[in-house]
C-alpha cells in the first residue's frame, strides 16, 4: 500500500543512513524486518522497507534530514505493544526503532525528576526509581515490554491512573526532532511553567505524528509504603458502580478500581483451567489502596468493605501481603489473554464519565444481542475506561465482516451520547481513525489537521495514523 506521493528508498539513501548509525543498525532483510512489521494490534502486518536503530537525538536528526529531503515515511516504534496500530508502517518506508535509546540518564532525587531515553522499558523505570524510594505510577498492562516513548505517544494509562493520573500528568520536559530534522526542547524540571504554549502536552498522545521524542523528563513522587488489595463480587454491575461512587464520596481515592464482567472471568477459568472465587458473580471489582500508614489503610479497607457489603457484595476479600496481592492482580492481568484467546477479536477502548459505566455496559449488552455477536468487557471502572472485546465466535466470516463495523459504529455512538470518547488509553492509530469523526467535530478535526501540517508539512511522520483521511 505504497502511496505514490512518498519517495522510494534507494541504495544511496541506505548508504547515507548507514553513515549515520552504522550499517549494522540499518535492517533490510525481510526476515529481520518481521518483528518491525506488527505490533499487538490484532493480526495486522505491514512490512517497512527498512528499520533503523539510532542511538541519539543527533542521529535521529540526521536520519530525518535525509528522509525529509527524499519524502520517505518514518514510523517511530517503541516496544511494539500498541493496540491501535500506531507503530505499523502502513505506507512502508522506515521504522525508526528506539530500542537502543533505553537508558535512564538521571534520577534527580532533589528535584524528584528523572531524565530518560524514549526506548526505556517502563518497568525498568519503575524498578530503578522504587529502589530509591520514589515512584513513577503509570502502569500500562504491557509495562514489562512497553517503553516510555511509546507511553508518551499514546498517553498510556493503566489501573493506577485513577489515583495518580496518566502519562501526560508526569511528562514535564521533552527533547524532540521535527520531520525536517530540527531539534527542539520543551519544558524542563519545572512544576510550574507558562512560557509560551504548552507544546509538551500537545506532543503527549500525538502518536508519533508530530515529531520524534528523543529525551524525556518525568516527574517522580514518593513511593507509598503499603498497599491493600480488595476483591468484591457483586450480583449486578449497577450496584457495583453505586458502591464505587460511595467510596469516593467517603473521601477514599483507591489507587485502582478494576471491573471484570462474568464472561471475562469464565474465559479466564476456561483458559487457565482454574476456578476463581465467586466466578458466578455478575461483576467483580478489584480495588487497590496505598499509603504510608498501615492503620490508615486498614481503616480505608474496612470502609470499602462496609460500602461494598451495603451494596450487596457477596463477600469482600482483602489481601494485605504482597503474595496474595500479586495473585489477585495476576488474575486480572490474565483476563486479557484469556478473552483474546477465545477467537478472532476486536478490542475497543471505550471511556465514559465514571458514573455512566453501568449504562455503557447495558448498551454493550444490548448491541451484542441485537447483532448476535459475543462481547466481553473488563477494564478500569474508576476511570470509566472499559475494554470491550468483540469476539468472532460462532458466526461466519461474512457475518463478521459485515456486522463488525456496524457494531463498532453503534457502540461508539452510544459512548459519545454518554459523554464519553472512543479511546481512553490505546490511541486512535490505524484501526480507529475512521471512527474519530464520531467523537470529534469537523472543527476539531480541522484544527488537528492544521497542527499536523505545522509540525510535519510533508506528512512523513507516521502517515495514515490518527486523523481520518
Which residue has cell 514518593?
222
Span 341-360, contacts to its own copies by CB under 8 A = 351-355
Could you say whether residue 147 binds its own copies (CB under 8 A)?
Answer: no
User: Of 205 and 305, which has the nearer Cβ to its own copies?
Assistant: 205
Q: Helix axis angle, 237-249 relative to 357-371, nearest 10°?
A: 160
Q: How far is the CB of 420 from its own copies (least distance, A)?
A: 6
In the bound state with its own copies, the residue whose beta carbon lies nearer, of 18 and 188, is 188
Question: What residues from 109 to 138 belong to the interface with its own copies (CB under 8 A)?
Answer: 109-113, 133
CB of 107 to its own copies, least distance (A): 13
Q: Is there binding between residue 384 and its own copies (CB under 8 A)?
A: yes
Interaction with its own copies in 179-198: which residues (CB under 8 A)? 182-186, 188-198
Least CB distance to its own copies at residue 451 (A): 6
Q: Site residues for its own copies, window 297-336 (CB under 8 A)?
A: none
Q: Is 105 in the site for its own copies (CB under 8 A)?
A: no
Give the footprint of its own copies on residues 428-457 (CB under 8 A): 428, 436, 439-441, 443-445, 447-448, 450-451, 454-455
Q: CA 426: distance to chain centroid? A: 4
**CA contacts within 13 A on the Cβ side of 352:** 24
Closer residue to its own copies, CB minimum distance, 72 or 211: 211
User: Which of 40, 154, 414, 456 forms a contact with its own copies (CB under 8 A)?
Assistant: 154
Q: Which residue from 162, 319, 391, 460 is in contact with its own copies, where contact means CB under 8 A? A: 162
How many amino acids of this chain bind its own copies (CB under 8 A)?
A: 88
Near its own copies by CB under 8 A, which window of 88-96, 108-116, 277-285, 394-402?
108-116
| Alpha-carbon span 437 to 130, nearest angstrom | 41
Q: Is 469 in the site for its own copies (CB under 8 A)?
A: no
Amino acid at each position: 500500500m505504497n502511496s505514490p506521493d512518498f519517495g522510494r528508498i534507494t541504495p544511496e539513501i541506505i548508504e547515507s543512513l548507514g553513515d549515520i548509525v552504522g550499517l549494522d543498525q540499518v535492517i533490510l532483510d525481510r526476515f529481520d524486518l518481521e518483528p518491525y512489521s506488527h505490533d499487538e494490534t490484532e493480526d495486522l502486518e505491514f512490512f517497512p522497507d527498512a528499520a533503523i536503530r539510532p542511538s541519539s537525538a543527533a542521529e535521529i536528526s540526521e536520519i530525518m534530514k535525509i528522509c525529509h529531503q527524499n519524502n520517505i515515511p518514518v514510523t517511530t516504534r517503541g516496544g511494539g505493544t500498541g493496540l491501535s496500530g500506531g507503530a505499523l508502517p502502513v505506507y512502508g518506508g522506515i521504522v525508526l526503532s528506539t530500542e537502543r535509546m533505553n537508558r535512564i540518564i538521571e534520577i534527580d532525587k532533589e528535584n524528584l525528576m528523572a531524565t530518560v531515553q524514549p526506548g526505556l522499558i517502563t518497568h525498568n523505570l519503575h524498578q530503578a526509581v522504587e529502589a530509591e524510594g520514589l515512584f513513577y505510577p503509570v502502569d500500562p498492562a504491557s509495562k514489562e515490554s512497553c517503553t516510555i516513548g511509546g507511553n508518551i505517544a499514546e498517553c498510556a494509562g493503566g489501573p493506577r491512573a485513577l489515583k495518580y493520573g496518566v502519562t501526560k500528568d508526569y511528562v514535564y520536559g521533552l527533547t524532540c526532532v521535527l520531520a525536517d530534522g530540527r531539534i527542539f526542547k520543551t519544558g524542563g524540571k519545572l512544576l510550574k511553567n507558562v512560557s509560551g504554549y504548552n507544546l509538551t502536552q500537545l506532543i503527549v498522545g500525538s502518536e508519533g505524528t508530530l515529531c520524534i521524542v528523543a529525551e524525556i523528563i518525568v516527574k517522580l513522587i514518593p513511593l507509598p509504603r503499603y498497599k491493600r488489595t480488595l476483591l468484591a463480587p457483586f450480583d449486578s454491575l449497577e450496584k457495583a458502580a453505586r458502591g464505587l461512587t460511595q467510596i469516593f464520596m467517603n473521601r477514599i481515592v483507591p489507587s485502582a478500581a478494576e471491573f471484570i464482567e462474568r464472561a471475562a472471568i469464565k474465559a479466564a477459568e476456561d483458559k487457565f483451567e482454574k476456578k476463581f472465587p465467586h466466578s458466578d458473580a455478575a461483576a467483580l471489582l478489584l480495588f487497590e489502596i496505598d499509603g504510608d500508614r498501615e492503620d490508615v489503610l486498614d481503616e480505608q479497607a474496612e470502609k470499602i468493605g462496609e460500602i461494598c457489603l451495603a451494596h450487596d457484595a457477596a463477600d469482600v476479600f482483602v489481601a494485605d501481603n504482597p503474595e496474595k496481592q500479586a495473585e489477585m492482580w495476576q488474575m486480572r492481568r490474565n483476563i486479557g489473554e484469556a478473552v483474546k484467546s477465545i477467537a478472532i477479536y476486536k478490542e475497543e477502548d471505550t471511556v465514559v464519565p465514571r458514573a455512566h459505566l453501568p449504562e455503557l455496559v447495558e448498551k454493550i449488552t444490548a448491541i451484542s444481542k441485537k447483532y448476535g455477536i459475543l462481547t466481553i468487557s473488563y477494564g478500569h471502572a474508576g476511570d470509566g475506561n472499559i475494554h470491550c472485546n468483540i469476539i468472532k465466535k460462532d458466526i461466519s466470516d461474512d457475518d463478521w465482516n459485515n456486522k463488525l463495523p456496524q457494531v463498532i459504529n453503534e457502540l461508539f455512538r452510544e459512548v459519545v451520547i454518554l459523554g464519553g470518547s472512543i479511546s481512553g488509553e490505546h490511541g486512535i492509530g490505524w484501526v480507529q481513525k475512521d471512527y474519530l469523526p464520531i467523537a470529534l467535530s469537523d472543527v476539531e478535526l480541522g484544527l488537528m489537521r492544521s497542527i499536523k501540517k505545522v509540525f510535519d508539512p510533508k506528512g512523513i511522520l507516521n502517515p495514515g495514523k490518527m486523523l481520518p483521511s
